[in-house]
Each structure stands twice: as structure tokens, then as C-alpha cells.
Amino acid sequence: MNKTIQLQDLGNRDYKSTWEYQEELFKGIVDLKIQNRREETNLPTPNYFLFVEHPHVYTLGKSGDLENLLLSEKQLEAKGAVFYKINRGGDITYHGPGQIVGYPILDLENFFTDIHKYLRFLEEAIILTLAEYGVESGRSDGETGVWLGVGTPFARKICAMGVRASRWVTMHGFALNVNADLGYFDNIIPCGIRGKAVTSLNVELGVEKVDEEEVKDKILKHFTVLFENQFVQK
């Protein structure tokens, strides 16, 4: 079991090229697993964790409803945004500047073979990170991601999640609003859930800007405790 994870910070990068890169890493792990089974070898499979910030983009999961995008093609163009239908779970979401996006591309057979546990651990890493800023967050029954004010009329989502897994290899991941322009969420029904707001860490703290590098460090710290892994920078 290889619990080393190669960490890559891609900076600000186009969604489509990042998606293609994810697919390339994902396929490399799956192909190696198939080779191990076919040739009865036991070559260690790699794991990756990508941090990235995307230009304005809306993505729709494979089970999502296109009606949850409230913009026409022309309106998308006017807002400097693009749209993709993709192969993760979940409905529609937004990515853009001021948002920390994390894509763990892991062979879960190096950790544990439980997708439910994997999602809960991703949520927990974010919940523990927000707690370090004095922000109490949690889970909402039946709604993957991290929420504030659960069970109150002021419930609001701060972190969206959507993953794909095949042969116990994961891709896609989470998007945490840190300094996000929340106006872009007005153009969708986020995750297909009506009547619930979206928030960002800087809004909750009442500050103009939160140090995103500091937030990343905290996420990685909690991720390491939960997954018992070691990160190596690439």
C-alpha cells in the first residue's frame, strides 16, 4: 500500500486542460492496476493531489439537470464564463477565482475501499480547517459537501463536492469558497438545491481577503491526519 501522495499546485488553470490532466493521471493508475492483475505483479500505484484555481466556469455532473443553469450561451460569454458537462457525480456547480479547488486522484486500495468514508473524510478535512478560523460547519443529511447553519433558515453551503471513482481510483473533488465572488452563484441553482444560499470564508469572517495559501496548508494538515498519508511536492 503506497500512502505517498504527489502534491501539485497548478495555480490558475483552465478547467478543460485540468480535467484532461486529471483524466491522464487517473488512466495511468487504472492501467497499472489492470496490468498488475493481468501479469500478477504488485507494482505500487501512485496517488496525486492537485490544487487549482479556475477561471469562471460552470460544470454539470452526469446526473445533473441542465435547467439548473440559468444562463444562455450569450449570457455566459458576457460574464466571461464557460460551461462543461462532466463525468463526476452531483449536479451543477461554479468554479472561479477566490475558490480553492482540490482534486485528489487516489487509488483507494492504498487507503481503504469505501467511497462513503472517502467523501466523509473530504468533508471532515474542510470542517476541521474552517474550525481553525472559528467557523462552525457540518454536514446536511442527503446533501454532500460542507454547510453552515444546518437545520436553520440560514443554511448556506461553503464547500461543494463531487467525485468519480472507478476500480477504486478517484478523481474530481471539492471546491471551497474562500474569497469567491458569490454573484456568480446567482446564475445557477447550486447543486440543484433550491432555497439554500452559498457563502465564502471571507464573508463569514467579515474580511476582504483570507490568505488562500494558509487555507491550503490547513487542508493538507487535516487530510494527512485522516488519510495517514505523506505528501511529496512535485
What residues are annotated to the active site? Answer: 191
**The C-alpha cell of 145 is what?**
459537501
User: Does 80 carry a binding-site annotation?
Assistant: no
CB atoms within 10 A of CB 111: 22
Contacts of 87 (CB under 8 A, 6+ apart): 62, 164
User: Does 90 carry a binding-site annotation?
Assistant: yes
User: Does 161 carry a binding-site annotation?
Assistant: yes
38, 46, 66, 179, 180 from 105: Cα distances, Å: 22, 9, 27, 25, 24
User: Does 11 carry a binding-site annotation?
Assistant: no
User: Does 89 carry a binding-site annotation?
Assistant: yes
User: Does 145 carry a binding-site annotation?
Assistant: no
User: Does 173 carry a binding-site annotation?
Assistant: yes
Are residues 36 and 89 in contact, defined by beta-carbon separation less than 8 angstroms?
Answer: no
Residue set of the binding site: 88-95, 160-162, 173-175
Residue set of the binding site for substrate: 88-95, 160-162, 173-175
